[in-house]
C-alpha cells in the first residue's frame, strides 16, 4: 500500500477543516464574484484552480437553494410525487445547503439542514440501515450511501443527540455488506456488486473516516481493487465485473472520485480515466448524448477539482455555462428523478469552487 493510500484525513485534520467550514458559514460577505474569487482554489493541495465563479452563479445557486427550502416537507424530507421523502434526495438537498456554508442550525439554511438531519435520523434502523419504505427507490444502498455521507458531514457540526451512534451503525452496515469482489449493489447483502453503488459507499466511508470513525483499511483496499478491475482499455469503466460492457461517462467520472476518496490522486489508472472523462466536456457532442447528466457531472466536477490545472480550467466554466441555461424560472433544475434531486445536484456542482464540504478536500 502506498503512503498516499494511508494518508486519509485523520480526525484532527477533519476537525480543523470542519471548524474552518463552520467559521465560513457564519456570514456571506462581499459580492458573489469576490466571495467566489476568494475561495476558488482554496483546497491547500498545491494544485492550480485559478477559476472563479461568474458573478451570476452564486445568486443562481441561492435561487436553487431557496427552491429546495420551499419544497421541504414538515417532517424534514423533500419533494412530492414518486420520489417524495426519498432518503437519497433528502441527503443531497442537505449537502447542497451545507456546500453553500449553512450547517445544522446555523446559516441562511441552517433550520432546513437541521430538519433534514432530524428526518434522516428518524430513518436510521437498529440494523444501521438508513431507509424509508414509502418512497420510490433506484436502489436502497444508493440512498444509504448518500445518507451516510450526509450524516458524516453533519457530525461534528451538530449536537444532534445520538448522531455518532447512528452514523457508526450506518458505516458498520456498509463494511459488513461488502461482497467478495470488493463492491456493493442495490441491497444490503453480499450477493453481487456494481461500480455505481460501490462508488457511493466508498465516498460515504471516506467522509466517515474523515469524521474520526474507524474504517478497516482492508475494506478500502478491496474496494479499490474492485474499481481498478472494472477499468476498460479506453480508460473508462464497465458497470459490472461479471457482465463486462462498455465504458460510460457517469460511472467513469464517479470511479475517479472513488479512487480520489481512497487516497489515489494520480497514477496511470487515474490519468487514463481523466482523459476519458474529458471527452465529455460540457457543450461537446459526446456530452449532449449522455444520460444521467447531473449525476455524471456531480462526480465529474469533483474529479476535475482534484485534478486541477488545465482540466479544471476547462471543465468548470463549461459546466457553469451549461447549467446556467438549464435553470428554471422558479430556481429549479429538472431531472428525470425529480426537480429536487436535479436542483440539489446542480447546486453541488456549481458550488465546487467554494470547497466547503470536508469530503471534497484532500
- pLDDT confidence of residue 284: 82
Give the CATH number of the domain where residue 157 resides. 1.50.10.20
As a whole number, mean pLDDT of residues 209-233 equals 98
pTM reported for the whole predicted model? 0.89
From CA 255, how far away is CA 226, in angstroms rounded?
10
Enter the C-alpha cell of residue 215: 474504517
- pLDDT confidence of residue 80: 84
pLDDT band at 51 (very low <50, low <70, confident <90, very high): confident
- pLDDT confidence of residue 29: 32
Angle at CA 89, nearest 5°, toward 104 and 25?
Answer: 25
From CA 253, how far away is CA 277, in angstroms rounded?
6
Which domain, by its residues, includes 280? 3-26+33-360
Q: What is the pLDDT of residues 108-163, one digit of tens each?
A: 999 999 999 999 999 999 999 999 876 667 689 999 999 999 999 999 889 888 99
pLDDT band at 48 (very low <50, low <70, confident <90, very high): low
> When comparing pLDDT for 8 and 59, which is higher?
59
Taking the CA of residue 224 as centre, how many other CA atoms within 13 Å lie in the half-sphere pointing to its CB?
A: 19
Report helix, strand or coil for 84.
coil
- pLDDT confidence of residue 45: 53
From CA 232, how far away is CA 19, in angstroms rounded?
40
Number of folded domains that form the chain? 1
User: For cell 449493489, what's the residue?
Assistant: 185
C-alpha torsion sign, points 185, 190, 192, 198 = positive
Cβ–Cβ < 8 Å for 257, 303 = yes
Residue 194 sits at φ, ψ, to 5 deg, of -140, 160
- pLDDT confidence of residue 52: 80
- pLDDT confidence of residue 81: 86
As a whole number, mean pLDDT of residues 168-176 equals 98
Residues 6 or more apart whose CB falls under 8 angstroms from that of 322 comprise 282, 283
Share of residues in the chain with pLDDT > 70 (%)? 85
From CA 326, how far away is CA 350, in angstroms rounded?
13
Burial bucket for residue 199 (CB in 10 Å: 0-12, 13-18, 19+): buried
Quick one: which H or E segment has residue 48? none
As a whole number, mean pLDDT of residues 88-108 equals 97
For residue 12, pLDDT beyond 60: no
User: For cell 446542480, what's the residue?
Assistant: 346
Q: What is the pLDDT of residues 286-328, one digit of tens each?
A: 766 678 999 999 999 999 999 999 999 999 999 999 999 999 9
For residue 272, pLDDT beyond 90: yes
**Mean of the per-residue pLDDT values for the chain?**
88
For residue 20, pLDDT beyond 70: no
> When comparing pLDDT for 246 and 40, which is higher?
246
- pLDDT confidence of residue 34: 36
Amino acid at each position: 500500500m502506498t503512503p498516499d493510500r494511508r494518508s486519509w484525513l485523520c480526525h484532527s485534520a477533519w476537525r480543523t477543516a470542519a471548524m474552518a467550514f463552520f467559521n465560513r458559514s457564519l456570514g456571506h460577505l462581499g459580492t458573489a464574484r469576490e466571495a467566489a474569487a476568494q475561495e476558488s482554489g482554496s483546497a491547500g493541495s498545491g494544485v492550480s484552480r485559478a477559476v472563479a465563479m461568474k458573478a451570476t452563479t452564486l445568486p443562481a445557486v441561492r435561487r436553487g437553494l431557496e427552491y429546495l427550502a420551499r419544497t421541504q416537507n414538515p417532517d424534514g424530507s423533500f419533494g412530492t410525487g414518486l420520489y417524495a421523502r426519498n432518503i437519497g434526495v433528502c441527503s443531497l438537498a442537505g449537502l447542497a445547503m451545507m456546500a453553500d456554508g449553512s450547517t445544522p442550525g446555523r446559516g441562511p439554511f441552517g433550520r432546513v439542514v437541521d430538519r433534514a438531519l432530524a428526518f434522516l435520523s428518524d430513518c436510521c434502523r437498529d440494523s444501521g440501515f438508513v431507509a424509508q419504505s414509502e418512497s420510490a427507490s433506484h436502489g436502497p444502498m444508493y440512498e444509504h450511501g448518500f445518507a451516510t455521507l450526509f450524516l458524516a458531514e453533519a457530525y461534528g457540526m451538530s449536537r444532534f443527540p445520538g448522531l455518532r451512534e447512528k452514523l457508526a451503525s450506518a458505516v458498520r452496515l456498509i463494511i459488513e455488506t461488502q461482497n467478495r469482489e470488493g463492491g456493493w449493489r442495490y441491497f444490503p447483502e453480499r450477493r453481487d456488486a456494481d461500480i455505481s453503488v460501490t462508488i457511493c459507499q466508498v465516498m460515504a466511508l471516506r467522509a466517515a473516516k474523515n469524521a474520526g470513525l474507524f474504517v478497516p483499511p482492508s475494506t478500502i483496499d478491496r474496494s479499490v481493487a474492485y474499481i481498478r478491475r472494472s477499468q476498460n482499455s479506453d480508460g473508462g469503466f464497465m458497470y459490472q465485473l461479471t457482465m463486462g460492457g462498455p465504458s460510460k461517462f457517469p460511472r467513469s467520472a464517479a470511479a475517479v472520485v472513488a479512487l480520489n476518496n481512497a487516497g489515489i490522486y494520480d497514477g496511470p489508472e487515474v490519468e487514463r480515466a481523466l482523459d476519458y472523462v474529458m471527452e465529455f466536456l460540457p457543450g461537446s457532442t459526446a456530452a449532449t448524448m449522455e444520460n444521467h447528466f447531473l449525476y455524471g457531472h456531480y462526480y465529474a466536477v469533483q474529479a476535475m477539482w482534484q485534478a486541477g490545472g488545465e482540466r479544471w480550467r476547462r471543465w468548470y466554466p463549461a459546466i457553469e455555462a451549461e447549467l446556467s441555461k438549464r435553470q428554471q424560472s422558479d430556481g429549479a433544475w429538472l431531472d428525470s428523478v425529480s426537480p429536487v434531486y436535479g436542483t440539489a445536484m446542480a447546486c453541488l456542482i456549481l458550488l465546487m469552487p467554494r470547497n466547503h464540504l470536508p469530503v471534497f478536500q484532500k
